[in-house]
Structure 1
Amino acid sequence: MHPRKKRQRKNASAMKLVGSLLACFREAAGLTQRELAGRICVGEDTIASIEQGRRPLKPDLAAILDRLLETKGALSTAVENLPEIDLIPAWAEDYMDYEREAIALSWFENQVLPGLLQTENYARAVFRSKVPVLSEDEINAQVDRRVGRQEILHRKVPPTTSFVISEAVVRDRLGGDEVYAETLRHLRACADLPGITLQVMPLGRETHAALAGPFILLETPDHQHIGYAETQRGSQLITDPDEVSILAQKYAMLRTQALNPEETKGLLDRLLGEL
């Protein structure tokens, strides 16, 4: 299974301009991408992604680079003056970059299956449920993109991935009975994939560690720990160590409250037997 080509972001031209400026200043300073990354304690892939316009340059990093490269605030000024539309989708797009490169993922969901576990038909049902409605072309593009992300689970060395999913999500018949049956079979197969741990949070619990909603934790190749959360009208990438620690504590508690992996497989087998 091969990675899908990344969707072109609306602010691609502006981001490429900022990235090209960084590359120009870096080369003028006589530094390689690896050398620059080492000096500011980020991964070489981060510098490469920014210079290629695939990842936005954040204001705090721009300020650090301006000081190091002695660019008199040029990068900070460029970032501050990006069009507003450029800033709206950046969190979600940035998360996709991190997800693609992650060495570990921990994912809690209580409304819908994690995107990495959705079948094509389930994903289509998700996007057809959107309000306002999407066109068929938009739905097809979104489904293709979502299914394409799943290639990370089938790599020779996949990320270590843990999912905790509400039982309500597993029992929901989004898309109808045929999609439900296909989804159950898919989840049962995913539960046996190398590197994946799947746990169901059972209904009827008296305590729950994540009543505030779903979230994702990931670890980057340079061992940075990052959180991500989505709301009805936006999303947030969480890098503050204290906030990430709170999410990690919540996730650790969720895993003790959920069915263990073998119990989860048993539940899926029972549900499949009821079809």
Structure 2
Amino acid sequence: MQPGKQSGIRRVTSWQLVGAQLRHFRKLAGLTQAALAEQAGVGEDTIASIEQGRRVLQLDMAIQLDELLDTKGTLRVAVEKIPRKERYQALVKDFVQYEQNAVSLLWYESQLVPGLLQTESYARFVFGCTYPPLEEEEIEKRVTDRLARQKILERKPRPILHFILEESILHTQLGDPEVMYEQLLHLRRCMDLPFVTIQIMPRNTPRHAGLSGPLILLETPDHDGLAYVDGQLRGELYDEPADVSALMQRYGMLRSQALTVAESTRLLDALLDALLGETCPAQHTPPPVPQPSTGTSPATATVTAEPASKSPPTPPPSTSATPR
């Protein structure tokens, strides 16, 4: 082979082989990608991506396609036999699916409230700060997608969710004061969910294990460990046991450096009281926290409001239009 010239050998992944099988069986059945997608209740691009090996064929969908194509479990077996090191692809759209099916999830965030805990107005403001700027339609689409991910909070069996947030996140005002108050109140209510734990990393921590940035760790239904690290343009998914173990140790250290749950709760209560004083200075007796309405996010919909003496109140509505 001449120097600088490629060998011409193209690496074929297991997912490309599965995709080739699907394409073969689809053609034998006399179906187009569009026709199969319609029968499966998915988009045509989903079938195309799976056939090209660019998208993971989830086990439940493999079983469904086996039934539609009468392949007697061939696709299901192929998916189950994928080598462990190729089982997970480092794609954001696939990670969202792993997130929704996770048995447990550990999330450290240094800049923003984690997406699973964001309110609608907070999320809309965050996407509105994206550069290059997004069109209004794209902002609304991303807000809708983010809120849809929060269905994990309603899922049964319940996942175990643990979050560590930098204290600076709570002090950074994004949007109007009402937007931030609503977000902090939502966090406080999430603290009362039995399957959610939130710890705050104090600003005066002498040693900090999270200087490398945000980190998400999850356990799949098959009890595999995955780690997701976000970046400026794209995220990266790690599934090698050694990598996941190293990041799990890092998260464990973050957990020990953060405030306890009780201390974190008291800190958030104090911030809410202070913010209420800024937004409603003339109000001497705070009103009680109202019961969540049917329009609230999944997390708060399951929380019963505590008496006014224990939980911070909701400020009166702003005279200006606040995004929901």
> Are residues 33 and 188 of structure 1, via their aligned partners in 2, closer, same or farther at CA, if it must alter by over 3 Å?
same
**Number of residue-to-residue matches in the alignment:** 225
Q: Would you tell me which structure has more helix in proportion to its own residues?
A: 1
Counterpart of 2:109 in structure 1 is 109
> Are residues 209 and 263 of structure 1, via their aligned partners in 2, closer, same or farther at CA, if it must alter by over 3 Å?
same
Deviations 1:84-118 (A, max 9, x none): xxx9xx61001001001001000000011100000
> Are residues 172 and 240 of structure 1, via their aligned partners in 2, closer, same or farther at CA, if it must alter by over 3 Å?
same
Structure-to-structure mapping, 1:116-127, within 5 angstroms: 116-127=116-127
Does 2:130 correspond to 1:130? yes
Does 2:49 correspond to 1:15? yes
Counterpart-to-counterpart distance in 2, 1:254 and 1:169: 16
Deviation at residue 33 of structure 1 after TM alignment: 5.1
| Gap runs ≥5 in structure 1 | 1-7, 43-57, 63-86
Counterpart of 2:195 in structure 1 is 195
Contact 2:66 2:76 (C-alpha < 8 Å) held by counterparts: no
Deviations 1:130-187 (A, max 9, x none): 0111111111100011011111112242210000000001111111211011011100
RMSD across aligned C-alpha pairs, in angstroms?
A: 3.0
> Are residues 143 and 223 of structure 1, via their aligned partners in 2, closer, same or farther at CA, if it must alter by over 3 Å?
same
> Are residues 211 and 157 of structure 1, via their aligned partners in 2, closer, same or farther at CA, if it must alter by over 3 Å?
same
Secondary structure of residue in 1 paired with 2:235? strand
> Are residues 195 and 136 of structure 1, via their aligned partners in 2, closer, same or farther at CA, if it must alter by over 3 Å?
same
Structure-to-structure mapping, 1:205-244, within 5 angstroms: 205-244=205-244
Residue 223 of structure 2 aligns to which amino acid in structure 1?
Answer: H
Deviation at residue 61 of structure 1 after TM alignment: 5.7
Secondary structure of residue in 2 paired with 1:234? coil
Structure-to-structure mapping, 1:146-161, within 5 angstroms: 146-161=146-161
Counterpart-to-counterpart distance in 2, 1:246 and 1:39: 27
Secondary structure of residue in 2 paired with 1:211? coil
Contact 2:66 2:74 (C-alpha < 8 Å) held by counterparts: no
Counterpart-to-counterpart distance in 2, 1:10 and 1:32: 22
Determine which structure has more spread, i.e. the larger CA radius of gyration: 2
Residue 251 of structure 1 aligns to which amino acid in structure 2?
Answer: Y
Counterpart of 2:269 in structure 1 is 269
> Are residues 215 and 272 of structure 1, via their aligned partners in 2, closer, same or farther at CA, if it must alter by over 3 Å?
same
Counterpart-to-counterpart distance in 1, 2:170 and 2:44: 35
Counterpart of 1:245 in structure 2 is 245
Counterpart-to-counterpart distance in 2, 1:243 and 1:148: 30
Structure-to-structure mapping, 1:21-40, within 5 angstroms: 31-32=73-74, 34-40=76-82
Deviation at residue 210 of structure 1 after TM alignment: 1.2
Secondary structure of residue in 2 paired with 1:200? strand
Residue 254 of structure 2 aligns to which amino acid in structure 1?
Answer: L
Deviation at residue 31 of structure 1 after TM alignment: 3.7
Counterpart-to-counterpart distance in 1, 2:270 and 2:87: 51
> Are residues 11 and 28 of structure 1, via their aligned partners in 2, closer, same or farther at CA, if it must alter by over 3 Å?
closer
Counterpart-to-counterpart distance in 2, 1:61 and 1:100: 17
Deviation at residue 13 of structure 1 after TM alignment: 4.7
* TM-score normalized by the length of structure 2: 0.63
Identity %: 43
Counterpart-to-counterpart distance in 1, 2:228 and 2:100: 14
Secondary structure of residue in 1 paired with 2:152? helix
Residue 51 of structure 2 aligns to which amino acid in structure 1?
Answer: L
